[in-house]
Chains A and B, each alone.
Chain A
Amino acid sequence: MTDVLTIQNLTKSFGKETVIDGLTFSVPEGSIFGFIGKNGAGKTTTMKMTLGLLAADSGEITVCGERVSFGQTATNRHIGYLLDVPEFYGYMRPKEYLWLCGEITGLENAKIKSRSEELLKLVGLAGINKKIGSFSRGMKQRLGIAQALLNEPKLLICDEPTSALDPVGRKEILEILRQVKDKTTVIFSTHIISDVERICDRIAVLDKGRLALSGTIAELKAKHKSGGFTATFDAGTDKERVLGVLAENHLQPIGVEETEQTIENLFMEVIL
């Protein structure tokens, strides 16, 4: 498996504050890569350096084997980028905006037309023709994904695509990311661990500007195996009966816990 993105010994400071401090990791082709860190960990900064929008102090970034340089950067042709709060020209309509992006990126007219329609359908904005200025946060996020995928990038970089959304919006975005994974490698940053568990196959955890943990989800789970396990039953199950069956078979649980209804589940039930 070749690496779509490699980052080596990357450092970056803003004034005296060192934000990224010798960061090294790589992202193999075909993965959905979760880039995890709490707020202010430096996720956005790392992504912007990958896109040549910020200058790195030292270290090397390569995208599809080509080195990224700050300012004018040819490597961006391999990348689709969705920034944390995507902003568009509010006076434009979604199709006009995608058309502008298509022309900038050098797609043929016929291609722009077909890709735009295909992508607007994928992100659920087909037939929406109002000005972007009146879009909700979630709609902007979805248009952002369409825009990022327009030039069929090898690498899709999404900066906290779900953080600002309600659970339904989050689910929709994750679903879209899952759908595109066959064609493009996806990196997405987040501080929401449940999102990572839903779709990622690899993760890197960023802490204090360094890598605190990385690997495939399977590897990490195997390595950090916990001693026990939890079994969850339906609400209708008779607890005493289950415990009785266990006792008959000489299986003694160390603890029994009643699962609380999570608000997220409740929310989903009510909304959907």
Chain B
Amino acid sequence: MRAYLAFTKKEFIENLRTYKLLILLAVFLLFGVMSPLVAKLVPEIMQNLGIGGIKITLPEATAMDSWVQFFKNVGQIGLLVLAVVFAGIMSNEFSRGTLVNVLTKGLKRHTVIFSKLTAAALIWTMSYLLCLAVTYGYTVYFWDMGELQHVFLAFFSMWLFGLLLVVLLILGGTLFKTFIGSLLLAGGAVVAMTLLNISPKIQKYNPVTLCGDNTALLTGVKNASDFVPAVIICIALVVVLTTVSVVVFDRKQI
């Protein structure tokens, strides 16, 4: 337990001093501000501009437009930034050879994985909550929030998918020992899930739904029953893939 805390602390120091924490917080803060502002301003600008002398009349923006922007930003570029920032989480240790010292000092190999997962998950959670809080603040300031359905499930789903991404990055880094390997495994998995999503029957089981259809859940177009199976499968994947990482890492020659 002491070794776990010590190594987790080391992970935080690393993320702090190599500016990874700062980058993530800044990017997600930016998205937090941008989402409601874009939702608010774009229609107004379009209306005032008028293209080719034709006056465009857009329906006035609502709180939901702000949430559409939020899920789009976080679910696409946000997750991409998360992946790039954490793609080196395992490979950096392999390529620099920094693990040898700590492992020969008696650090259990599974502790390495659990510490890294803990730190990355906490940093992702902080970034995501910051983004959410800022968007929420602007949205209630600009608009009447109205009736939102399945609020917890909609926001939890996106967070859970981000966690799955972190787990995939750790597994990729453990398997291939490289930054690219980590990114390719996570990217490949997302592409594969997206392709599978073409079949409507699979959608409600597919984790990728958790970062794609959240607004449909908020508006009530989709039901909790369309999301819960994917949530369960995603949680199962997080557990299974973490276990696989531990088992693979135990057998790695260093």
Interface residues of A (CB under 8 A from B): 48, 51, 53-55, 71-72, 76-77, 79, 81, 83, 85-89, 91-92, 96, 100-101, 103-106, 144, 147, 150-151
In the complex, B100 has a CB within 8 A of chain A:
yes
Chain B hits for A48, CB < 8 A: 254
Pairwise interchain contact A71-B14, C-beta atoms closer than 8 A: no
In the complex, B109 has a CB within 8 A of chain A:
yes
> For chain B, what secondary structure do more than half of its interface residues adopt (helix, strand, loop), or is it mixed?
helix
Interface residues of B (CB under 8 A from A): 2-3, 5-7, 10, 13-14, 17-18, 96-98, 100-109, 250-251, 253-254
**Nearest chain B CB to A57 CB, angstrom units:** 12
Pairwise interchain contact B103-A103, C-beta atoms closer than 8 A: no
- Could you tell me the distance between the alpha carbons of A72 and B250 in the complex, rounded to whole angstroms? 7
Pairwise interchain contact B106-A76, C-beta atoms closer than 8 A: yes
- Could you tell me the distance between the alpha carbons of A48 and B97 in the complex, rounded to whole angstroms? 13
Chain A hits for B251, CB < 8 A: 71
Pairwise interchain contact A106-B101, C-beta atoms closer than 8 A: no
Chain A hits for B98, CB < 8 A: 87-89
Pairwise interchain contact B250-A105, C-beta atoms closer than 8 A: no
Contacts between chains A and B (CB distance < 8 A), count: 76
Pairwise interchain contact B10-A55, C-beta atoms closer than 8 A: no
**Nearest chain A CB to B173 CB, angstrom units:** 17
Pairwise interchain contact A105-B253, C-beta atoms closer than 8 A: no
- Contact of A55 with B17 at beta-carbon distance under 8 Å, contacts A85-B97, A104-B102, A106-B106 already known: no
> For chain A, what secondary structure do more than half of its interface residues adopt (helix, strand, loop), or is it mixed?
loop
CB<8 Å pairs between A and B, sample of 6: A79-B104, A87-B101, A91-B17, A101-B105, A104-B106, A150-B105
Pairwise interchain contact B108-A105, C-beta atoms closer than 8 A: no
Pairwise interchain contact A91-B3, C-beta atoms closer than 8 A: no
B103: nearest chain-A partner, CB-CB: A53
- Could you tell me the distance between the alpha carbons of A51 and B103 in the complex, rounded to whole angstroms? 9
- Could you tell me the distance between the alpha carbons of A117 and B107 in the complex, rounded to whole angstroms? 22
Pairwise interchain contact A83-B97, C-beta atoms closer than 8 A: yes
- Could you tell me the distance between the alpha carbons of A106 and B106 in the complex, rounded to whole angstroms? 9
Pairwise interchain contact A55-B102, C-beta atoms closer than 8 A: no
Pairwise interchain contact A77-B106, C-beta atoms closer than 8 A: yes
Partner of B105, one of A54, A86, A151: A151
Pairwise interchain contact A92-B13, C-beta atoms closer than 8 A: yes
Pairwise interchain contact A72-B109, C-beta atoms closer than 8 A: yes
B92: nearest chain-A partner, CB-CB: A89
- Contact of A105 with B101 at beta-carbon distance under 8 Å, contacts A71-B250, A71-B251, A100-B6 already known: no
Pairwise interchain contact A101-B101, C-beta atoms closer than 8 A: yes
- Could you tell me the distance between the alpha carbons of A77 and B18 in the complex, rounded to whole angstroms? 31
**Nearest chain A CB to B8 CB, angstrom units:** 11
Pairwise interchain contact B7-A104, C-beta atoms closer than 8 A: yes
- Could you tell me the distance between the alpha carbons of A87 and B106 in the complex, rounded to whole angstroms? 17
- Could you tell me the distance between the alpha carbons of A225 and B14 in the complex, rounded to whole angstroms? 57
- Could you tell me the distance between the alpha carbons of A98 and B89 in the complex, rounded to whole angstroms? 22
Partner of B104, one of A81, A89, A92, A96: A81
